């Protein structure tokens, strides 16, 4: 048994070969002929198009991937979609459950057996692009998609084609919510305390509760670097090396030292744990607040009930000045498989699923933050605490696109090092060295 | 200095009993924890105490009846899939292992030494090297997303694990073969009628080890099955329950599912333990 | 050192002696290895020469049917009345031709370039993108490898076909009749029984182990990476150069060396800790006078029966900062407060030691099982005569039990060592490799 196991489990290594994290810029794919501008007579708006746009596609068979919780709603949307085009012959449109986190991996593994239309988070965009798995947004819809969705979301899905140097929009914006924010128990942390990191930690310590923020996972711990000013900004000219915005090193080091000082001071209160534990922590009554992802908000809300509080990440006091924590923030997109047998229908369907109406439904029924600007302004979204917290944090965040694979581990190490018992928060030289090492590791400078 | 030999023995035995008891406690307690918490009623993921406050069968009931929705978590189906794959791959593996080890042990032919060396060398390569290629090969045969592919994957390399059963066959005296040959039996008859009936321990050992494989692997199976959840095995399914998407709602069911996988295999293993020991020991003698 | 001198040494001196002998023998072994390689190559070249010679000679000596076999498989056999074998040979050629025309050549023709056409996108009049798929190097490489392997096999069949044709020609000249299908079938159950038994397993291993292995080894000579994902090219030994480029402290080289160093430490510690501790426990269980032997064994064996992904993920949960282990330790030593030890996330060496300890938990039962079996198998009369000679229990242990066990289990030890070098699941499931640090 041991041998079989060793052989089979060990295969994960190859799985990572399939699915290396992140990805680099596109290597080679031509923007193609740009002779075609949106069809002369065909019009597209609000998710609906002329039936002529389907061309000669008939007996249409499609597969759609949606995350588990979204399957039934997606099915409903597809029924509505079919009704919109009574003269088109649809044979079968299946909705298959597939977690978004893994969608890209599955697609790259075997595009021929994957879905035609699928939902995926923004950090997978480079990988899909490098593997040439995405069919870019139809030119007929670009104008409408750009006009109706938040600018940041559209921008994050726009990559430069390395050959033609044209900007290409690769996927249809679906949500604007793939990030983390602060959740807290109102019994422990007051709304006022929730504004500063110091306040939260003090309130938690006084109540003998914990504060959870994962410092070993690059997705969360990059907050320290971002807040310090070391913000990533796409790639360098070589389309491979991660670029950082210019920052003031002294201030950056001071900020990191401020974080480390709080970790030290509130040792035992500030716990570095997987956010999956946060809901349990609230339930057990050991937790006062935590930095949690939007995908866990249902469980958090259910546990805390009326005491549930959610807001953007707090500020931290650096040299007497309150600095807002800057987080990593992602979006979700609907992509069209480049290998689809019905490209027109797939694009029209993706366009519909990304439309205002569908986004509204998803915001109401699933609690997904919309990218559509109109939906963001609706009463429902305005009154939802979580969605508002997410939206507020998205103003203080770095988009999760164009990230080199080396980023996550280096940032995880940064958090881990500062969290270590032996770390000296007032050692300026060591902090400076840590920051330099982190940056050079991200940039893969040997 | 303790004079009496007997007294000394009693003391040393008591000491051994104490050490063994402590060790067994360490070895068994994680499973006791698993069992206890699979009946836990409260909390989502982990709790900060050892004994659950509230005991319930709900986790098991939910696991088998499905908690509704789109029923992409279908544990009974996965259990059945795994059972089918395990049975078939176990039959094929056993045949392969016995055939290879018997020929390498008791038949004499030109390439015998060379084949044994090749087998040893192949065993040195980490198995995960071949995974991508395996997927494309199965894809070319139109077998991905099927249980047949899993059976192939789990049984294809079985022949390489011939060492232990070869060692076992080596211990059977050759005089038996010679006597049978004089009586006019051919090698086929010798294999089926004389050697195999004597080899119960090694057959059971091989069956047992190859039966357990499919219950444990999730990496290869996951790549082969992709999005086809109806064809998942328990291992992929349980692993999926611990991903971000499901862990909040399904963690306790995951514990229950783990118990459901572990209990039958444990019972099987304990019942067959005698043969396992005989097989591995006899095989080990000659390596 | 004579045998008598050796016998007079104490166990430690013996160990030192053997240790020295082992290392002394290494250069010699290397020398023998290389000279064997040299001889092998020489034999191979001579073999090829001989093959060519036979190939030509047979053609000259062969009759028309044998000569025709050089082009069409099986003609010689058919002509001499060995019908079924002739048909089989012919079918092989037919199938190979079909394979090459409809599949093999299509992929193999790009083997040397691994594809040149890039994927590109155009837009139709409505503005819909059309993605034109380019070459996929991965598939080209895999199916070319398959084609090469199949071609080699067919070549072997081809030579066999010629040899068989010539053999039957000689037989006819000597007035012998070819064997019938029934006689051959009988032979496959007796003299050639190994072929019957081995063909299926070897076929499976060939297709699903050896072929993928060749393919993956070939990948090492290409620039397959995330920059060259669909379309990659041969780069020769460049990857190996980078991997061992320690002088310029290439990042790949330093990473690889760091990992390789830790892997070696891990393999040694994991193998020997399991072995020694397992042996101690097995001796305790099997000591005379200890009751409930099977119960003790059974309790340990549960670890083997429970799938590792269950037990290791469970261990992972229990070793978290406020997991069960910390809670338990807290109850025992810290007055109910959780200890908050970060077993797996804080320090590299803490995590490494934790992983090694958990590996003992996983691995010791295997050693206990095999050791118990061996201990029961030691012939009782050995102990009997030792007792008559007045040997003390310690002496019996060092002179009989220990050498016997070490002798019997050495092959297992080697297999386990190799297994631990390739071991992946324990560390992956337990800590996911965190905290990442490649330095030893």
Residues ≥6 apart with Cβ < 8 Å to A322: A196, A315, A316
Asked if B281 reaches chain C (Cβ–Cβ under 8 Å), the answer is: yes
Count the neighbouring beta carbons within 10 Å of the beta carbon of residue A363.
22
Q: Does B108 lie in the same domain as B35? A: no
Residue B172's pLDDT is: 86
CA separation for the pair B285, C374 (Å, rounded) = 8
Domain residues for the domain of B29 are 5-63
- Please spell the DSSP secondary structure of C248-260, one letter per residue: TT-HHHHHHHHHH
**How is chain A split into domains, by residue range?**
52-176+330-399, 179-329+401-442
Q: What value does the CA radius of gyration of chain B take, rounded to a whole number of Å?
A: 24
Average per-residue pLDDT in chain A? 85
C-alpha distances out from residue C187 to B108, B115, B188, C191, Å: 15, 21, 10, 5
Nearest Cα neighbor of A44 from A34, A54, A58, A31 is A54
Nearest CA in chain C to A36: C125
Note whether B163 and A45 are within 8 A (CB): no
The residues with which A62 forms a beta bridge, in sequence order, are: A93
Which structural domain range is residue C392 located in?
251-431
Whether A361 shows a pLDDT value over 90: the answer reads yes
Q: Count the neighbouring beta carbons within 10 Å of the beta carbon of residue C24.
A: 9
d(CA A328, CA A226): 8
Nearest to A398, CA basis, from A159, A223, A217, A170: A223
Q: How far apart are CA A392 and CA A388, in angstroms?
A: 6
Q: Which of B41-45, B65-69, B175-179 has the highest mean pLDDT?
A: B175-179
C297 within a domain of the structure (yes/no): yes
Whole-number Å distance between alpha carbons of C372 and C369:
5
User: Among A68, A277, A298, whose Cβ lies nearest the Cβ of B45?
Assistant: A277
Tell me if A223 sits within 8 A of A328, measured CB to CB.
Answer: yes
Q: Which of C122, C228, C345 sits opposite A416 (nearest CB)?
A: C345
CB spacing of C121 vs A343 below 8 angstroms: no
Contacts of B285 in chain C (CB under 8 A): 374, 377, 408
Average pLDDT over residues A267-282: 86
Same domain, B176 and B247: yes
C401-417 tens-digit pLDDT:
888 888 777 777 888 88
Tokens of B70: 């789109």
Compute the Cα dihedral for B268, B272, B277, B283 and give only its sign.
negative
Question: Does C437 map to a domain?
Answer: no
Cβ-based contacts of A23 with chain C (< 8 Å): 226
What was the pLDDT predicted at B227?
86
- Tell me how far CA of residue C384 lies from CA of A104, B5, C287, C379, C393, in angstroms: 69, 19, 16, 9, 12
User: Smallest CA–CA separation between A252 and chain B, in Å?
Assistant: 32
For position C1, what pLDDT does the model report?
Answer: 64
Q: How many CB atoms within 10 Å of residue C54?
A: 14
Neighbours of C5 (CB within 10 A): 9
pLDDT bucket at B284, cuts 50 / 70 / 90: low
State the smallest CA–CA distance between residue A99 and chain B in angstroms.
7
Residue A276: name the closest of C359, B254, C352 by CA: B254
Residue with tokens 């939206």: A391
Task: Please give the model's pTM, rounded to 2 decimal places.
Answer: 0.84
**CA–CA dist C212, C219 (Å, integer):** 10
Contact B227 A98 (CB under 8 A): yes
Q: Does B69 touch chain A (CB under 8 A)?
A: yes
Domain match, C379 and C269 both: yes
Nearest by Cα to B108 from C190, C186, C203: C190
CB atoms within 10 A of CB A432: 16
Contact (CB<8Å) B217/A17: no
Flag if B262 and C377 touch (Cβ within 8 Å): no
- Report the C-alpha gap between C421 and C348 in whole angstroms: 19
Same domain, B132 and B210: yes
Given an 8 Å threshold on Cβ–Cβ distance, is B229 in contact with A97? yes
Do B46 and B100 have their domain in common? no
Same domain flag for B54 and B93: no
CA distance A209 to A270: 9
CA atoms within 13 A on the CB side of C75: 12
* A131·C120 Cβ contact <8 A: no
Distances (CA, A) of A191 to A188, A203, A383: 10, 11, 17
Whether the predicted pLDDT of A2 surpasses 60: no
Does residue C279 sit in the same domain as residue C405? yes
Does residue B86 share a domain with residue B58? Answer: no
Between vectors from CA C10 to CA C5 and to CA C14, what angle results, nearest 5°? Answer: 70
In a shared domain, residues B52 and B158: no
Nearest to B216 among C298, C307, C376 (CB): C307
CA distances from B168 to A68, B91, B104, B196, B198 (A): 50, 19, 12, 11, 10
Same-domain status, B123 and B181? yes
Is the domain of B123 the same as that of B163?
yes
- Mean pLDDT comparison of A36-50, B132-146, C322-336, highest-scoring range: B132-146
* Contact between chains at A106 and B48 (C-beta distance less than 8 A): no
Q: What is the nearest CA distance from A27 to chain B, expressed in angstroms?
A: 22
Give residue-wise pLDDT tens across range B220-269: 888 899 888 888 999 888 888 888 778 888 888 999 999 999 888 888 88
3-state SS, one letter per residue, for C143-177: HHHHHHHHHHHHHHHHHHHHHHHHHHHHHHHCCCC
Q: Regarding beta strands A315-318 and A308-311, do their DSSP bridges make them parallel or antiparallel, or are they unpaired?
A: unpaired
- Residue A395 touches partner B, C-beta closer than 8 Å: no
In this structure, are C319 and C358 located in the same domain?
yes
What is the total count of domains within chain B?
2
Q: Are residues C424 and C388 in the same domain?
A: yes
Is the minimum CB–CB distance between A301 and chain B shorter than 8 Å?
Answer: no
3-state helix, strand, coil split of chain B in percent (to 5) is 75, 0, 25
Please tell me which residue of chain A has the smallest CA distance to B132: A14
CB of C435 less than 8 A from some CB of A:
yes
- On whether the A52-176+330-399 domain is CATH 3.40.50.2300, my answer is no
**CB within 8 Å: A268 and C340:** yes
Q: Does C400 touch chain B (CB under 8 A)?
A: no
Using an 8 Å Cβ cutoff, are C161 and C87 in contact? no
CATH code of the region A179-329+401-442: 3.40.190.10
Pick the residue of A3, A8, A28 with the most C CBs within 10 A to test the interface with C by mutation. Answer: A28
Into how many domains does chain C fold?
Answer: 2
Q: Which residues of C touch A127 (CB under 8 A)?
A: 226
CA dihedral of C74, C76, C78, C79, whole degrees rounded to 10: 160
Give residue C167's Cα distance to chain centre: 39
pLDDT digits (tens, 9 = 90+) for B79-95: 999 999 999 999 999 99
Closest by CA position to A183, among listed A277, A81, A85: A277
> A385 near A308, Cβ under 8 Å?
yes
Of A181, A191, A189, residue with least CA distance to A213: A181
Question: Is the ipTM here above 0.90?
Answer: no
pLDDT bucket at B101, cuts 50 / 70 / 90: very high
pLDDT at A368 over 80: yes
Strand locations in B173-238 (E): none
Asked whether residue A10 carries a pLDDT value surpassing 60, the answer given is: no
Q: Which residue has the tokens 């007996």?
A: A59
**Residue A5 pLDDT > 70:** no
Q: How far is A6 from chain C (nearest CA, A)?
A: 6
Give the one of C230, C345, C425 whose C-beta lies nearest to A131's C-beta.
C230
Q: Which is more confident, B168 or A375?
A: A375
- The residue among A194, A218, A315 whose CA lies nearest residue A272 is A218
A13 in contact with B, Cβ within 8 Å: yes
The CA distance from C347 to C329, in Å, is: 19
Beta carbons of A380 and A95 less than 8 angstroms apart: no
How many angstroms separate the CA of residue B124 from the nearest CA in chain C?
Answer: 7
Structure tokens at C411: 């092959």
CA distance C216 to chain A (A): 11
C124 → closest Cβ in A36, A338, A446: A36
Looking at the complex, report in whole angstroms how far the Cα of residue A281 sits from the nearest Cα belonging to chain C.
10
Please say whether the beta carbons of C291 and B260 come within 8 A. no
Angstrom distance (rounded) from CA B275 to CA A7: 24
Interface contact flag, C324 B287, Cβ < 8 Å: no
Are B29 and B149 found together in one domain? no
Residues of chain C below pLDDT 50 = 439-440
The residue from B44, B63, B82 where one domain ends is B63
For residue range C48-71, list pLDDT tens digits in order: 899 888 888 888 888 889 999 999
Residues 6+ apart with CB under 8 A from A250: none
Strand partners, A167: A160
Q: Put residue C247 in one of left, alpha, beta given phi > 0 → left and psi -120 to 50 → alpha.
A: alpha
Residues B122 and B29 in one domain: no
| DSSP SS3 for B145 | coil
Residue of chain A minimizing CA distance to B229: A97
Sign of CA dihedral B100, B103, B105, B109: negative
Same fold, A52-176+330-399 and A179-329+401-442: yes
Phi, psi of B45 (to 5 degrees): -100, -90
Which of B18, B33, B63 is the endpoint of a domain?
Answer: B63
Domain shared by B127 and B269, yes or no: yes
Surface-to-core class of residue C59, CB atoms within 10 Å of its CB (0-12 exposed, 13-18 middle, 19+ buried):
middle
pLDDT digit string, tens, across residues B18-56: 999 999 999 999 999 999 999 998 877 777 788 888 899
Asked if C256 and C214 sit in the same domain, the reply is no
A290 touches chain B (CB under 8 A): no
Flag whether C155 is in a domain: yes
The three-state secondary structure class of A66 is strand
For residue A30, the model assigns a pLDDT of: 35
Is C124 in the same domain as C269? no
pLDDT for the residue B285: 52
Strands A44-45 and A172-185, how do they pair?
unpaired
Burial of A146 (0-12, 13-18, 19+ CB in 10 A): middle
Of B43, B63, B83, the residue that ends a domain is B63
- The CATH number of the domain holding residue C263 is 1.10.3720.10
Which stretch of DSSP H or E encloses residue C386? helix C380-388
Tokens of B89: 């791959």
Kindly report the nearest CA distance between residue C66 and chain B, in angstroms: 27
Mark whether C228 and C255 lie in a shared domain.
no
Q: How confident is the model at residue A38 (pLDDT cuts 50, 70, 90)?
A: very low
């Amino acid at each position: 048994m041991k041998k079989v196991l060793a052989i089979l489990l060990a295969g994960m290594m190859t799985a990572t070969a399939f699915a290396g994290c992140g990805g680099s810029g596109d290597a080679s794919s031509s923007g193609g002929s740009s002779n075609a501008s949106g069809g002369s007579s065909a019009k597209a708006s609000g998710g609906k198009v002329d039936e002529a746009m389907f061309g000669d596609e008939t007996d249409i068979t499609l597969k759609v991937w949606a995350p588990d919780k979204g399957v039934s709603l997606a099915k409903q949307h597809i029924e509505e979609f079919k009704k919109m085009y009574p003269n088109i012959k649809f044979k079968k449109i299946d909705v298959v459950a597939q977690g978004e986190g893994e969608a890209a991996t599955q697609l790259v593994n075997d595009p021929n057996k994957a879905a035609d239309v699928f939902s995926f988070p923004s950090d997978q965009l480079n990988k899909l692009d490098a593997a040439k798995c995405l069919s870019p947004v139809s030119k007929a819809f670009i104008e409408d998609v750009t006009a109706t969705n938040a600018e940041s979301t559209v921008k994050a899905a726009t990559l430069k084609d390395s050959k033609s140097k044209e900007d290409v929009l690769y996927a249809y914006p679906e949500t604007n919510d793939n990030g983390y924010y602060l959740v807290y128990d109102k019994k422990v942390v007051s709304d006022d305390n929730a504004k500063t990191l110091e306040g939260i930690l003090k309130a938690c310590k006084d109540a003998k509760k914990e504060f959870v923020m994962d410092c070993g996972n690059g997705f969360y711990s990059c907050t320290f670097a971002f807040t310090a000013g070391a913000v990533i900004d796409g790639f360098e000219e070589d389309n491979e090396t991660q670029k950082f915005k210019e920052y003031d090193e002294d201030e950056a080091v001071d900020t990191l030292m401020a974080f480390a000082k709080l970790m030290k001071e509130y040792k035992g209160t500030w716990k570095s744990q997987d956010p999956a534990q946060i809901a349990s922590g609230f339930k057990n009554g050991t937790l006062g607040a935590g930095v949690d992802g939007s995908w866990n908000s249902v469980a958090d809300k259910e546990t805390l009930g009326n005491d549930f509080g959610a807001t953007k990440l707090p500020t931290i006091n650096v040299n007497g000045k309150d600095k807002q924590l800057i987080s990593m923030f992602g979006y979700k997109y609907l992509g069209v498989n480049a290998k689809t047998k019905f490209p027109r229908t797939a694009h029209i369907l993706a366009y519909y699923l990304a439309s205002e109406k569908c986004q509204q439904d998803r915001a109401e029924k699933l609690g997904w933050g919309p990218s559509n600007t109109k939906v963001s302004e609706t009463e429902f979204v305005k009154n939802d605490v979580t969605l508002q917290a997410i939206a507020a944090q998205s103003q203080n965040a770095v988009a999760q696109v164009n990230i080199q694979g080396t980023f996550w581990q280096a940032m995880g190490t940064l958090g881990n090092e500062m969290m270590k018992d032996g770390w000296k928060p007032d050692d300026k030289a060591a902090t400076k060295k840590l920051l330099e090492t982190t940056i050079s590791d991200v940039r893969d400078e040997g | 200095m303790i004079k009496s030999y007997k007294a000394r023995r009693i003391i040393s035995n008591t000491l051994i009993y104490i050490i063994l008891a402590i060790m067994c406690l360490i070895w068994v307690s994680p499973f006791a924890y698993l069992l206890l918490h699979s009946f836990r009623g409260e909390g989502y993921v982990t709790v900060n105490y050892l004994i659950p406050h509230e005991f319930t069968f709900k986790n098991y009931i939910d696991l088998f009846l499905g908690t509704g929705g789109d029923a992409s978590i279908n544990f009974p189906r996965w259990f059945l899939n795994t059972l089918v794959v395990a049975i078939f791959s176990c039959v094929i593996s056993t045949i392969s292992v016995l055939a290879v080890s018997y020929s390498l042990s008791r038949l004499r032919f030109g390439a015998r030494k060379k084949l044994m060396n090749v087998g040893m060398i192949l065993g040195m390569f980490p198995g995960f090297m071949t995974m991508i290629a395996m997927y494309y090969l199965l894809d070319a045969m139109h077998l991905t997303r099927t249980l047949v592919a899993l059976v192939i994957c789990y049984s294809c390399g079985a022949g390489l694990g011939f060492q232990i059963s070869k060692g076992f066959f080596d211990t059977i005296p050759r005089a038996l073969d010679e006597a049978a040959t004089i009586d006019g039996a051919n090698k086929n008859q010798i294999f089926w009628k004389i050697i195999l009936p004597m080899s119960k321990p090694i057959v059971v050992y091989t069956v047992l080890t190859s039966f357990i494989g499919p219950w444990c692997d999730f990496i290869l199976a996951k790549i082969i099955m992709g999005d086809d959840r109806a064809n998942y095995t328990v291992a992929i399914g349980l692993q999926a329950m611990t991903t971000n998407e499901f862990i909040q709602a399904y963690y306790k069911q995951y514990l229950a599912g783990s118990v459901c996988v572990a209990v039958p295999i444990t019972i099987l293993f304990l019942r067959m333990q005698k043969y396992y020991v005989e097989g591995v020991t006899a095989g080990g003698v000659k390596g | 050192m004579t045998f008598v001198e050796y016998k007079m040494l104490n166990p430690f001196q013996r160990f030192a002696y053997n240790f020295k002998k082992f290392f002394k023998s290494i250069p010699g072994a290397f020398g023998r290895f290389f000279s064997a390689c040299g001889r092998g190559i020489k034999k191979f070249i001579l073999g090829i020469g001989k093959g060519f010679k036979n190939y030509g000679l047979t053609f000259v000596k062969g009759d028309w049917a044998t000569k025709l076999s050089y082009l069409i498989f099986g003609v010689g056999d058919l002509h001499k009345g060995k019908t079924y074998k002739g048909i089989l040979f012919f079918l092989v050629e037919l199938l190979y031709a079909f394979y090459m025309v409809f599949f093999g050549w299509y992929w193999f023709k790009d083997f040397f370039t691994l594809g040149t056409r890039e994927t590109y996108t155009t837009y139709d009049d409505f503005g819909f993108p059309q993605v034109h798929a380019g070459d996929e190097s991965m598939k080209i490489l895999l199916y070319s490898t398959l084609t090469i392997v199949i071609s080699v096999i067919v070549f072997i069949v081809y030579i066999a076909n010629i040899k068989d044709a010539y053999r039957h020609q000689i037989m006819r000249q000597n007035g012998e009749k070819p064997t019938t299908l029934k006689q051959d079938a009988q032979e496959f159950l007796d003299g050639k029984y190994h072929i019957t038994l081995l063909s299926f397993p070897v076929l499976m291993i060939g297709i699903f182990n050896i072929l993928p292995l060749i393919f993956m080894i070939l990948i090492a000579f290409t620039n397959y990476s995330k920059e060259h994902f669909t379309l990659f090219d041969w780069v020769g030994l460049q990857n190996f150069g980078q991997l061992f480029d320690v002088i310029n402290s290439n990042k790949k080289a330093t990473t690889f060396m760091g990992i390789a160093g830790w892997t070696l430490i891990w393999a040694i510690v994991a193998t020997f800790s399991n072995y020694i501790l397992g042996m101690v426990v097995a001796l305790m269980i099997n000591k005379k006078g200890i009751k409930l032997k099977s119960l003790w064994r059974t309790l340990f064996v549960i670890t083997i029966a429970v799938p590792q992904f269950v037990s290791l993920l469970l261990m992972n949960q229990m070793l978290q900062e406020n997991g069960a282990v910390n809670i338990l330790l807290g109850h025992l030593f810290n007055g109910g407060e959780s200890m908050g030890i970060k077993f797996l996330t804080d320090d590299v060496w803490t995590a490494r030691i934790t992983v090694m300890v958990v590996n003992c938990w996983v691995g010791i039962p295997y050693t206990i099982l095999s050791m118990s079996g061996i201990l029961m198998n030691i012939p009782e009369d050995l102990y009997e005569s030792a007792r008559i000679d007045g040997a003390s229990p310690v002496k019996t242990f060092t002179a009989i039990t220990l050498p016997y066990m070490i002798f019997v289990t050495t092959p297992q030890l080697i297999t386990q060592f190799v297994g631990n070098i390739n071991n992946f699941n324990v560390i992956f499931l337990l800590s996911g490799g965190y905290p990442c640090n490649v330095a030893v």
